[in-house]
Amino acid sequence: MSNTVLKALACALALGITSAIQAADPIIIKFSHVVAEHTPKGQGALLFKKLAEERLPGKVRVEVYPNSSLFGDGKEMEALLLGDVQLIAPSLAKFEQYTKQLQLFDLPFLFNDIQAVDRFQRSPEGQALLKSMESKGITGLGYWHNGMKQLSANKPLRTPRDARGLKFRVQASAVLEEQFKAVRANPRKMAFAEVYQGLQTGVVNGAENPWSNIYSQKMHEVQKYITESNHGILDYMLITNTRFWNGLPPDVRSELDKIVEEVTREVNTQADALNQGDKQRIIEAKTSEIIELTPEQRNAWREAMKPVWRKFEAEIGPDLIKAADAANQPR
Ligand code: LMR
């Protein structure tokens, strides 16, 4: 055999080995989020990692980055589109740059409880929203619950008038800004990672969060009062980069689809209990007074905030609002 042929053979062999090694490399899935691990989303991310690595050994490795440790608000969506992270689960309040329809979920007093949210998310209209950003390169894989939001402040909030003039931290959502303007308070957009310090230093006087976020971020240590208002929801859409997900080997993708379904069911079954447990822990910490509203007081908040719906009706779509409202009736 000539030297050239031998060299060519050696080269082909080396290339073959390299591609065999490459084929054997696990697919890395980075899952970045902004909350603590002991929260519905934090637990969901860890369960996804566990099941994916158990059921696709050697094929998939999942790296979970909690607490904004890889990307915080504002950056995570961009990172997903750039392929720097493969899974994120932003709150439904954080999508307005990509679709106006999801603003639906921020409308105050739209859903009576988390069961109504669940019914809407499972409905054909709710499921269609998961696919509403595919033209932008974002695929929704499922909805994950956190829970109903509570108002907190350093003064007791019993009537809408009590909120006047206070500065409230809001997520990056025009609806939530309007919600606080409706009670003559001053909304201030702020990344989640900055909220504790914002409350501690008085940059903002109040906030709205589910119990699990209040407790895991220790916000109850810097807020004297928490009003159990249940005035809105904070839920998530688990999303991926459309090109990445569609490009996965079919066997890996179908297994991951099944795992996502299983994890979604688990998160949504456990979220309420986790929030109630954290509410209890906040009560036991005795740092904040928990204010329960009378039906009349809660109604006053509803009356004050509900006009916000009209401002966003055209952008969201009246039929979608109707479908969500209908989910308040148990079937
Ligand atoms: C917030 O910014 O308050 C939430 O979206 C954080 C989260 O992911 O629960």
Cα(275) to centroid(ligand 1), Å: 14
The label of the residue with tokens 């204010």 reads: 291
Give dist(CA 231, CA 210) in Å, integer: 10
Q: What are phi and psi of 310, to 5 degrees?
A: -60, -35
Q: Could you tell me if the CB of 91 is within 6 A of ligand 1? A: yes
Q: Could you tell me if the CB of 192 is within 6 A of ligand 1? A: yes
Cα(59) to centroid(ligand 1), Å: 31
DSSP 94: G
The strand pair at 289-292 and 225-228 is best described as: parallel
How many residues comprise the chain?
A: 331
Q: Which atom of ligand 1 is nearest to the CA of 89?
A: 8
Q: Is 294 helix (H, G, I), strand (E, B) or coil?
A: coil
Give dist(CA 277, CA 285) in Å, integer: 12
**First-last CA distance in the chain:** 79
Cα(254) to centroid(ligand 1), Å: 29
Q: Which atom of ligand 1 is nearest to the CA of 146?
A: 9
Under a CB-based contact definition with an 8 Å cutoff, are residues 248 and 257 in contact? no
DSSP 165: T
The tokens describing 23, both together, are 């084929």
Under a CB-based contact definition with an 8 Å cutoff, are residues 247 and 269 in contact? no
Q: Which atom of ligand 1 is nearest to the CA of 171?
A: 2
Interior angle at CA 137, CA 131 and CA 80, nearest 5 = 110
Cα(152) to centroid(ligand 1), Å: 15
Per-residue CA distances from 1 to 8, 16, 266 (Å): 11, 21, 63
pLDDT of residue 19: 47
Interior angle at CA 234, CA 230 and CA 235, nearest 5 = 130
pLDDT of residue 227: 98
Closest residue (by CA) to atom 2 of ligand 1? 192
- Which DSSP string do the residues of 233-272 spell out, in sequence order? EEEEEEEEEHHHHHTS-HHHHHHHHHHHHHHHHHHHHHHH
Give the other-Cβ count within 10 Å of 52's Cβ. Answer: 23
Q: Could you tell me if the CB of 34 is within 6 A of ligand 1? A: yes
- Which DSSP string do the residues of 300-313 spell out, in sequence order? HHHHHHTTHHHHHH
pLDDT of residue 73: 94
pLDDT of residue 16: 47
Q: Could you tell me if the CB of 146 is within 6 A of ligand 1? A: yes
Give dist(CA 25, CA 139) in Å, integer: 25
Cα(192) to centroid(ligand 1), Å: 6
Cα(195) to centroid(ligand 1), Å: 10
Task: Give the pLDDT of the chain (331 residues) as one tens digit per residue.
Answer: 555 545 555 545 454 444 444 456 999 999 999 999 999 999 999 999 999 999 999 999 999 999 999 999 989 999 999 999 999 999 999 999 999 999 999 999 999 999 999 999 999 999 999 999 999 999 999 999 999 999 999 999 999 999 999 999 999 999 999 999 999 999 999 999 999 999 999 999 999 999 999 999 999 999 999 999 999 999 999 999 999 999 999 999 999 999 999 999 999 999 999 999 999 999 999 999 999 999 999 999 999 999 999 999 999 999 999 999 999 998 7
pLDDT of residue 2: 53
Closest residue (by CA) to atom 3 of ligand 1? 192
- Which DSSP string do the residues of 27-53 spell out, in sequence order? EEEEEE-SS-SSSHHHHHHHHHHHHHH
Cα(146) to centroid(ligand 1), Å: 9
Cβ-based burial of 232 (10 A; exposed 0-12, middle 13-18, buried ≥19) = buried
Closest residue (by CA) to atom 6 of ligand 1? 192
Cα(6) to centroid(ligand 1), Å: 61
pLDDT of residue 3: 56
Torsion angle of the four alpha carbons 212, 216, 220, 223, in this order, in degrees rounded to the nearest 10:
-100
pLDDT of residue 10: 54
Closest residue (by CA) to atom 1 of ligand 1? 192
Closest residue (by CA) to atom 5 of ligand 1? 91
Per-residue CA distances from 166 to 186, 204, 227, 311 (Å): 6, 8, 15, 22
Q: Which atom of ligand 1 is nearest to the CA of 213?
A: 9
pLDDT of residue 274: 98
Instruction: Return the percent helix, strand and coil in the chain, to nearest 5.
Output: 55, 20, 30
Cα(327) to centroid(ligand 1), Å: 24
